[in-house]
Amino acid sequence: MATKTEEGAEARTDETRADARTAEEQRATGTKDATAPEAAAAEAETAEAALEDEAAGEDAEASEPEAEAPSGVGQGAGAVVSAALGLVSLSGGWIGTVAGAREQLVGQLRTSSTASVASQIKAVYGNAWHTTALWAGLFALAALLTGVVVLARPSFGAPGRPQAPWIKSVAWAGVWLGVIGLLLAVLKYSDALLALPSAG
């Protein structure tokens, strides 16, 4: 009897141990199953954070060239200067007027009262006229060169950044005023336009 009881107790103990092992295995499997979604969620969050960091880095790289790109203030100022120089070349300007008056005074001082009328006209008025034309031509040339530099500047500047339309318009106006002023200056200086009157 004692043997049967001992055998029964051992069988119960084995069953208890087997049940405990099964319960532990189920708990371990359940823990693994429970931690698997948590691990997947953590991995997804890490991947999202990495993507956000990459996107922020790309945005920063994209914004850096915009910050470094020129604003066009210098080009706009150059265009306005070109147009102003072109207008000065057409009107003669203060410097041309003063230089012409000085040349007229020098002509009066150097010409004797016994000189011929043609010599007096040339010395007093002709040289002053040519000096005014020369200064107008210099202003026209400066307007032309400044306008061309402003128009050509985007070719050597930041690629992909177009020039503002108003800058182009004003620069083209300066170029054309310079061309017209230079042409008029050459015609005045060569006496093809408004030549000196003849003395005879």
Query: Distance from CA of residue 85 to its chain's centroid?
Result: 23
The share of the chain scoring above pLDDT 70, in percent, equals 64
With beta carbons less than 8 A apart as the criterion, state whether 146 and 78 touch: yes
> In the chain, what is the greatest distance between 2 CA atoms, to the nearest angstrom?
170
**DSSP string across the chain:** -HHHHHHHHHHHHHHHHHHHHHHHHHHHHHHHHHHHHHHHHHHHHHHHHHHHHHHHHHHHHHHHHHHHS--SHHHHHHHHHHHHHHHHHHH-HHHHHHHHHHHHHHHHHHS-TTS-HHHHHIIIIIHHHHHHHHHHHHHHHHHHHHHHHHHHHHHHS-TT-PPPHHHHHHHHHHHHHHHHHHHHHHHHHTTSSSPPPP--
**pLDDT of residue 59 exceeding 90:** no
Contact call for residues 139 and 85 (beta carbons, < 8 A)? yes
Cβ count within 10 A of residue 189:
17
Lowest-confidence segment of 25-39, 68-82, 92-106 by average pLDDT: 25-39
Please indicate, yes or no, whether the overall pTM of this predicted structure exceeds 0.75. no
Judged against a pLDDT cut of 90, whether residue 101 lies above it is answered with no
pLDDT band (50, 70, 90) for residue 18:
low
pLDDT digits (tens, 9 = 90+) for 34-44: 455 666 666 76
Q: What is the pLDDT of residue 28?
A: 54
Contact indicator for 144, 136 with CB cutoff of 8 Å: no
- pLDDT score of 100: 87
